[in-house]
């Protein structure tokens, strides 16, 4: 059994906001890309085939929600996932989605 900490109404709202942000495929791709290590805005944009302004906009939202963090190195800013909780949650959900379901499972969970 998984123990879920008691959350205040404000914390519950922040949790819902985090899931809402991750519900956007572009933002989810950005977070998953940053799980491999620090990435610059330019690298994220280039590697994912997105514009830099779009990536910057999404990064701002993801940082505000504490899903990503920015690390400045001289004149450059690199983005990475905030902590292992975020990485584990996304990796676990991705593994769950990748599992093959049997016909019996599909019938029980439409």
Note the pTM of the prediction, 2 decimals. 0.85
Does residue 74 lie within any of the structural domains?
Answer: yes
Does residue 70 lie within any of the structural domains?
Answer: yes
Q: Mean pLDDT over residues 81-89, rounded? A: 95
Note down the domain range covering 59.
17-89
Instruction: Kindly give the residue spans of alpha helices, DSSP state H, lying in the chain.
Output: 9-22, 25-34, 41-48, 52-64, 84-98, 103-108
Q: Is the pLDDT of residue 103 over 60?
A: no
Does residue 95 lie within any of the structural domains?
Answer: no
Does residue 44 lie within any of the structural domains?
Answer: yes
Q: CA torsion sign, 64 to 65 to 66 to 69?
A: negative
Lowest mean pLDDT among 2-6, 73-77, 106-110: 106-110
Rounded Cα distance, 37 and 8, in Å: 32
Does residue 45 lie within any of the structural domains?
Answer: yes
Domain count for the chain: 1
Q: What is the CATH number of the domain that holds 48?
A: 1.10.10.10
pLDDT higher at 101 or 107: 101
- Condensed to tens digits (0 to 9), the pLDDT of residues 4-59 reads 899 999 999 999 999 999 999 999 999 999 999 999 999 999 999 999 999 999 99
């Amino acid at each position: 059994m998984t123990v879920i900490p008691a959350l205040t109404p404000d914390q519950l709202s922040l949790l819902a906001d985090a899931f809402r942000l991750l519900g956007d495929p572009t933002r989810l791709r950005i977070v998953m890309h940053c799980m491999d290590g620090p990435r610059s805005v330019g690298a994220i944009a280039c590697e994912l085939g997105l514009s830099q302004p779009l990536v910057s906009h999404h990064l701002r939202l993801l940082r505000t929600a504490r899903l990503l963090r920015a690390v400045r190195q001289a004149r450059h800013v690199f983005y990475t996932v905030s902590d292992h909780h975020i990485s584990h949650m996304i990796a676990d959900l991705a593994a769950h989605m990748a599992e093959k379901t049997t016909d019996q499972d599909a019938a029980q969970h439409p």
